[in-house]
């Protein structure tokens, strides 16, 4: 297992290197640079050239990349071209908000998908089962931005049951934080819950027909025990895969949701950085997202071993 872990971490390095080169190249292909954003559309060409030189943007792109890579290897992610903040500081400030939203969406998704998926698998032809399937289809087809705006208008503005937008740090203001968290979590969690419920339903229906489940029933175990202790664990493997990917996506920042709810997460940071061509911030947030995906994939793979003892990594 240790060897497996080390191997996976070592393999992550070339992945990160290729990812950093790709995003660096893409940024320079897209027109515009931070110098233009700073000087504005009415700048004198000589001013623009002077500012570019000051920022080091007049150097060849490969040289700029190597300079940046050298700094990163020494633990320095650089400073924002636009606001001068250290990039690492900018990202670390956003991570708690992103993590909180991810957890909130995760909780909503599990709370909806687990009972829905299990019920649909056990009673697929029942009225409630069909309703659950219908709900899944609706949740899948409703666009996130539409749902978010609807929740803001109805619950935030019209009925004033919850705040329409904003954020509060969880540890310093837990109750206020939860109030702000509810609507964006529902927005993000609802569509994921539909995907998870579908996967769980299909997976569980398959597992319920296996011999060992028939044996468990034949032994006289209660249905609840058969499902929770025997069938669900195997059915969850597919669900864990999907969940892992979704959590990775959320940690990368749910840009639309963060914009609608004014949620100060990594997604919003990346959006601002792209709009203002803040190269170092784009690079660093992109690498953060890739690293998060790598870690979550690894955790997902390790969870398989926990769920299914037959799976062992060497």
Partner 1 sequence: MFARLKIRLLTIVFLSVTIGLAWCIGLATSEETPKRGGTLTVGMPGDILNFDAFSYTYLVQRTVRTVYNSLMRYDDKLNLLPELVESWEAAPDGLSLTLHLRRGVKFHSGREFTAQDVVANLNRAKDQKTGGHLFNMTQTVASAEAMDKYTVKINYSAVTPEMYDTMTRLYIIDPEAFEDLKKKGAGTGPFKLVEWQPGEYVKFKRHEDYWDKGRPYVDELILKPFNDIDAMVIALESGTVDLVEGVPYKDVKRLSSKFKIARGHEGTSFYTLYCSPKLKPFDDAQVRRAMQYALNRQAIVEAVLYGTTSPTTSAFPPTSLAFDPKFDKYYPFDLEMAKKLIAQAGYPNGFKATVLATTAYPEFAEMAQIFKSDLAKIGVDLTIETLDPAQWYPKLLSGNYQMTFSFAGLSHTDPSQLSLNSAYRLENNPLWEKVPSDYFKAGQEGRTTLDVDKRKKIYADFQVALLEGSWAISVAWRHTFYGLAPYVKGFDSSVDHNIMLDGVWLAK
262 touches partner 1 by CB under 8 A = yes
Buried b (16+ CB within 10 A) or exposed e, 120-142: bbbeeeeeebeebbebbeebeee
Which member of 39, 142, 213, 307 binds partner 1 (CB under 8 A)? 39
> Token pair for residue 308?
């299914």
**Residue 284 interacts with partner 1 (CB under 8 A)?**
no
**Measuring CA to CA, how many Å separate 222 from each of 40, 163, 219, 228?**
71, 45, 9, 10
Q: Pick the closer one to partner 1 by CB: 82 or 235.
A: 82
Stretch that binds partner 1, among 34-42, 132-140, 238-246, 296-304 (CB under 8 A): 34-42
Here the tokens at position 11 are: 């393999």
158 to 217, contacts with partner 1 by CB under 8 A?
160, 163-167
Q: What's the min distance (Å) between Cβ of 53 and partner 1?
A: 8
Of positions 4, 272, 304, 313, contacts partner 1 by CB under 8 A: 272
Using CB under 8 A as the binding criterion, the count of chain residues that bind partner 1 stands at 52
Q: Which is nearer to partner 1, 40 or 75 (CB)?
A: 40
The residue assigned the tokens 């609840």 is 224
Task: Choose the binding region for partner 1 from 2-10, 156-164, 170-178, 199-207 (rule: CB under 8 A).
Answer: 156-164
Interface pattern 48-77 for partner 1 (x via CB under 8 A) = x-xx--x-----------------------
Euclidean distance between CA atoms 106 and 239, whole angstroms:
13
| From 65-73, 111-119, 208-216, 271-279, span contacting partner 1 (CB under 8 A) | 271-279
What would the two tokens of residue 227 be?
A: 């499902």
Nearer to partner 1 (CB atom), residue 106 or residue 170: 170
Between 33 and 296, whose beta carbon lies closer to partner 1?
33
40 is a contact residue toward partner 1 (CB under 8 A):
yes
Instruction: Figure out which of the listed residues 7, 71, 275, 311 binds partner 1, where binding follows CB under 8 A.
Output: 275
30 binds partner 1 (CB under 8 A): yes
Shortest Cβ 188–partner 1 spacing (Å): 16
Sign of the Cα pseudo-torsion (223, 232, 198, 208, in order): negative
In the complex, minimum distance from the CB of residue 268 to partner 1, in angstroms, rounded to a whole number: 5
Binding site for partner 1 (CB under 8 A): 30-33, 36-48, 50-51, 54, 80, 82-85, 90, 93-94, 149, 152-153, 156-157, 160, 163-167, 259-262, 264, 268-269, 271-272, 274-277
């Amino acid at each position: 297992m240790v060897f497996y872990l080390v191997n996976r971490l070592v393999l992550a390095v070339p992945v990160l290197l290729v990812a950093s080169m790709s995003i660096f190249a893409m940024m320079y292909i897209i027109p515009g640079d931070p110098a233009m954003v700073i000087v504005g559309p009415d700048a004198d060409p000589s001013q623009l050239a002077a500012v570019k030189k000051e920022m080091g943007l007049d150097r060849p792109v490969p040289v700029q990349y190597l300079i940046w890579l050298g700094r990163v290897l020494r633990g320095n992610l650089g400073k924002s071209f636009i606001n001068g903040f250290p990039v690492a500081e900018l990202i670390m400030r956003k991570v708690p908000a992103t993590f909180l939203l991810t957890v909130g969406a995760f909780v909503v998704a599990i709370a909806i998908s687990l009972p829905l998926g299990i019920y649909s698998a056990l009673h697929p032809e029942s009225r409630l089962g069909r309703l659950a399937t219908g709900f899944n289809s609706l949740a899948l087809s409703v666009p996130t931005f539409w749902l978010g705006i609807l929740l803001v208008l109805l619950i935030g503005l019209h009925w004033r049951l919850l705040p329409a937008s904003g954020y509060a740090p969880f540890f310093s203001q837990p109750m206020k934080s939860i109030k702000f968290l509810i609507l964006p979590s529902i927005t993000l969690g609802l569509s994921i819950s539909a995907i998870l419920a579908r996967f769980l339903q299909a997976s569980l229906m398959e597992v319920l027909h296996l011999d060992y489940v028939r044996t468990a029933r034949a032994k006289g175990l209660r249905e609840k025990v058969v499902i929770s202790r025997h069938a669900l664990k195997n059915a969850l493997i597919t669900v864990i895969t999907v969940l892992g990917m979704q959590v990775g996506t959320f940690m990368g920042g749910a840009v639309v949701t963060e914009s609608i709810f004014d949620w100060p997460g990594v997604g919003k940071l990346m959006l601002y950085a792209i709009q203002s061509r803040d190269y170092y911030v784009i690079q660093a947030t992109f690498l953060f997202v890739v690293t998060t995906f790598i870690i979550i994939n690894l955790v997902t793979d390790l969870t398989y071993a926990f769920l299914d003892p037959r799976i062992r990594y060497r």
